[in-house]
Amino acid sequence: MRKAITAGEAADLIPDGASVMFGGFLGVGSPERLFDALAARGAKRLTIIGNDTARPGVGVGKLIDAGCVTRIIASHIGTNPTTQKKMIAGEIDVELVPQGTLAERIRAGGSGLGGVLTPTGVGTTVAEDKRVLEIDGADYLLEAPIRADFALLHAHEADYFGNLTYRLTAANFNPVMAFAADCVIAESDHIVPVGVIPPDAVRTPGVLVNHLVGRAC
Amino acid sequence: MDAKEVIARRVALELRDGMLVNLGIGLPTLVAAYVPDGMHVAFQSENGIIGFGAPPPQGMEDPNLTDAGGGFISALPGAIAFDSVTSFALIRGGHVDMTVLGGLQVDSKGRLANWMVPGKIVPGMGGAMDLVTGAKRVIVAMQHSAKGAPKIVEELTLPPTAARRVSLIVTELAVIEPTEDGLALRERAPSVEIEEIIANTGAKLSIPAHVPEMAFIAG
């Protein structure tokens, strides 16, 4: 059994300058309470890693608004004009990664692989400065693994062991990120006793989760 | 029919029973409205679902059920939800039968550019590079020109989305197939002359003796 922490306590664990990966697709499946707490703490110089930067005031967009972020690794920033403005002003450095490549680089980072070989990006600007390997006559880019200091997840249910479930399209990057950070913090819509989630229904094993954020009450 | 409807209804002719299809955001999304009666096509959204349907009635939206553009959707019977790794294994692994994407430019080699305009718009590629690389067929659904300038060009001036040759280009004027030997005119829209297509195309087209008129899925 473990003791839940508050979102504020979680934000205090994350130092300025940390790298933080986060679940969410345009804010769907994002840990909103953790973002609120980080913005409230006034976190600085974070590197954030996720699919996109949602919109101003939504999801990780709250951290962009609050000036917490200086570096972004994402597949898409087109829905957040604040991100684009700060990128053009030189306040935020953005690395754009194809969505499937981002998922696989994180998977590699979390599963002990030294990289992935993908055909995505061959013949494009994504291939610049990367090794191209020919395998059975086809070209593949060697893409490096990605890990972070922290992974901030949003789940549907968490049990007292930290086993997690997700709902519908709110899973997205959450399950793979649970493997790829030194410290994994999960917030969930519901906290349930051990045994409520059938073993087959667990999507993220609790052994991967370092901290659970308690109920919002 | 306006230009977008012409394009969507022509692209819908490419659908086949049992296909798994990924539609890009914008114009390609319209294709879903023209699935022929009795045909079962499964639509994938890369944020993690196969088998989604129309938005729920107002006030009944599920915040955990959206498409890749962030719009609310419904899950049809038989739908499945999954994470991003699985979603892109489906895409990159060749399990998606067809993708329909918008385009900024296509060149004579059949290469598509649709993810950025240097110095102007840098939204990011999202899933576009994986889709163009991995889908079995790539259909480009776009207007023939942008502000009078041809979007079908000899050589891309915008950064390519992938090195791969796309399968088909459908515009409001014509259907064009990129081949090993360049671009081939396959169909013309009703009441559009071949000269008009040539005048609006910035790349050499090979033109067969007979260019049939486009057929459409009924509206």
Task: Indicate the average pLDDT of chain B.
Answer: 96
Task: Indicate the average pLDDT of chain A.
Answer: 97
What are the residue ranges spanned by the domains of chain B? Answer: 3-206
Architecture of domain B3-206: 3-Layer(aba) Sandwich (3.40)
CA distance A83 to A102: 19
Q: How many CA atoms lie within 13 A of A139 on its CB side?
A: 14
Which pair of tokens denotes residue B102? 């918008």
CB contact under 8 A, B85 and A26: no
Mutate to test the interface with B, among A99, A117, A177 (most CBs of B within 10 A): A99
Show residues of chain B in contact with A166, CB under 8 Å. Answer: 83
pLDDT value at A1 more than 60? no
What are the residue ranges spanned by the domains of chain A? Answer: 7-113+146-212
Give me the interface pTM, i.e. the ipTM.
0.97
With cut-offs at 50, 70 and 90, classify the pLDDT of residue B195: very high
Choice among B5, B14, B46, B177 that is catalytic: B46
What pLDDT score does A69 carry?
98
Mean pLDDT calculated for residue range B110-130: 93
Show residues of chain B in contact with A120, CB under 8 Å. Answer: 92, 129-130, 133-134, 162
- Chain B's closest residue to A127, CA to CA, is B162
CA distance B66 to B156: 34
What pLDDT score does A104 carry?
98
Show residues of chain B in contact with A86, CB under 8 Å. Answer: none
Distance of residue A75 Cα from the nearest chain B Cα, in angstroms: 5
Show residues of chain B in contact with A119, CB under 8 Å. Answer: 92, 133-134
CA distance B6 to B13: 11
CB contact under 8 A, A96 and B133: no
pLDDT tens across A142-185, in order?
Answer: 999 999 999 999 999 999 999 999 999 999 999 999 999 999 99
Mutate to test the interface with B, among A116, A117, A168 (most CBs of B within 10 A): A168
What pLDDT score does B122 carry?
85
What pLDDT score does A215 carry?
82
Of the partner residues A122, A124, A168, the one whose CB lies closest to the CB of residue B65: A168
Q: Is B14 a catalytic residue?
A: no
A19-22 and A46-49 strand pairing = parallel
Q: Residue B59: which region, alpha, beta or left (left: phi > 0; alpha: psi -120 to 50)?
A: left
No. of helices (H) and no. of strands (E), chain B: 4, 15
Instruction: Classify residue B8 by its DSSP letter.
Output: H
Comparing CA positions, the residue from A20, A103, A100 lying closest to residue A63 is: A20
Class of domain A7-113+146-212: alpha beta
- pTM, whole model, 2 decimals? 0.97
pLDDT tens across B36-92, in order?
Answer: 999 999 999 999 999 999 999 999 999 999 999 999 999 999 999 999 999 999 999
